[in-house]
Chains A and B, each alone.
Chain A
């Protein structure tokens, strides 16, 4: 039975919401007619809506608690649906194939506009996966990730402007520049952890942006660099729509490569060292892991992906200016990682798609778009604080107890 106390609570919450939204939802001032319209029915709907939502969420929480209490210690049953799918190759392979086919046929199924949006979302998938190495796996909270993205973008913009270098030549250079910068940033912050690291990386991100904004001779300041060449395809001339489709496939390719590489890295000796570093630094060193090297590699590998995406970003928009690389951008990429699930590749992909696509498709709601966005974030953090899809811990199967024969699945 639903407790009466909770009903009262929900009623209070409803009242509180009605009160909070009173100024924007009820009063409507028309400055031309000089009249005030009182929309009391809105207040009623808000109260009713928040009352119902609060009761539903309470019911959900109570159920979750009961379920957890009943099945304590039995992991196979409490294991979430998504994780079961990911564990089972029987489901995983056809599913990934379906996703791949869908991704490849996307430009033919949807309009150029949709393809363009999807390209952006996929770019954030790569950014998210890159940051995931640093934040999710190695546990180094980096708030200045966008700096590496900017370095990649400006590498292409500047090299293209001054030396007329092509997209494919700059793609690896941009990545390597960013990786190098990652090492440069890594050195001074090696001793820092947690909040302190976050502050320093935040500062670093701002420094890069401010340099780009103020060093006019170098980066043309706030006005940015325009007319950057689009990526070429063996010298072929492409129509505008064709160019968008081309970049879309390019990004899909990059996403696939990124997933492959990040997955392998995570399940390697290096990936284990990162995980261990996240859990206990001192124990890590005592076990013979070189803290300096491991951290720097995490930083530079994370930065590398940001650099690659930066180059693609510059090529896609054909225009870069410092305004594209604000702290908000870092925050969004970080939200992707946290929302999706730290350390989980599938989680980050979902996180990026949701966070980037949702604002686009919520455009219909125009002014309530950001409100809904924020609301969804809050709801997520309340109900799934570990992220959409938490990381699947790799498990090892030993066939015979006597021998060391191991087969593992990731």
Chain B
């Protein structure tokens, strides 16, 4: 088995006296789709925020290992933009697109950390900058085609439907060329048809060499999609394993699935 691309050990985050995350371990191997589930308020989004540098963890260790270069990085205390540069991108639970920018521009922003042009390049627009700009547009357009939004290139992001906005968020994250993609409730608020399309999209992304960690409440999606599942409750990890293992785990049933023993 190849080495884990993300290894979290003993991650803890305190807000004052409250332990939002308490000593959580997690690891993701290349090409995997891993789900993080748990009841509301279990600390899943806080966990994401710690991973992506929006919060600084109180204790514990987050290590990212680039599967291609084998480069290992410790992410604790790194700025969010640096973490994205290292190859881990995310989407947000409450959609955070750039609402008045166009769909294409939203994806183009994702290319920011992979491009270089700065003040002088912008002013003099030298051949290198121009080529870079063309590449940005081209790649962004390809991504839009992949997520099926290439007909709305010049539409303002806020005018998109809910499901399309979620897909655009994924597209924007993909533009940063991540090897690990964190999706925070990607199917929230989607109708069954949209969810189905989303599942296909996630599978496709995964098959293209991105590993995925997702938070989700839609159990059908989680069970059908993920290779492994981690379950959190009250900030603690209470179970982990394949969908079957988790499904039959008594602790999970007690904390999360409640009465549905047969589920």
Contacts and interface: CB of A to CB of B under 8 A. Distances in A.
A393 B157 CA distance: 12
Contacts of A360: none
Contact of B84 (A273, A288, A396, A401): A288
Chain B binding surface, main DSSP class: helix
Contact of A279 (B101, B113, B153): B101
Given A269-B133, A395-B154, A288 B112 contact: yes
Q: How large is the interface on A (under 10, 10 to 19, 20 to 34, 35 or more residues)?
A: 35 or more
Contacts of B115: 269
B136 interface: yes
B156 interface: yes
Interface string B102-144: 1011001110111101110111010001001110111101100
Contact of A287 (B112, B129, B138, B142): B112
Contact of A280 (B89, B90, B96): B96
B176 A276 contact: no
B7 interface: no
A6 interface: no
B76 interface: no
A393 B102 contact: yes
A274 to B, nearest CB: 11
Chain A CB within 10 Å, residue with most, of B105, B109, B153, B156: B109
Interface in A261-275: 261, 264-265, 268-273, 275
A286 B80 CA distance: 6
A278 to B, nearest CB: 8
Nearest to A265: B122
B54 interface: yes
A288 B113 contact: yes
Interface residues of B, number: 52
Contact of B98 (A270, A280, A290, A406): A280
Interface in B158-204: 172-173, 175-176
A62 interface: no
B217 interface: no
Interface string B78-96: 0111001100011010001
A145 to B, nearest CB: 20
A273 B122 CA distance: 12
Interface string A284-306: 11111111000001000100000
B97 interface: yes
A3 interface: no
Contacts of A328: none
A259 to B, nearest CB: 12
Contact of B154 (A279, A289, A291, A396): A396
Contacts of A264: 122-123, 125
Contacts of A404: 137-139, 141-142
Contact of B92 (A283, A288, A290): A283
B52 interface: yes
A394 B100 CA distance: 12
A261 B125 CA distance: 10
Given A269-B136, A288-B113, A393-B101, 20 more contacts: A265-B123, A270-B117, A272-B101, A275-B101, A276-B109, A279-B99, A285-B54, A286-B52, A286-B92, A286-B96, A297-B119, A393-B100, A393-B154, A393-B156, A394-B105, A396-B153, A396-B154, A398-B141, A398-B150, A406-B137
Interface of A: 261, 264-265, 268-273, 275-276, 279-280, 282-291, 297, 301, 393-396, 398, 401, 404-406, 408
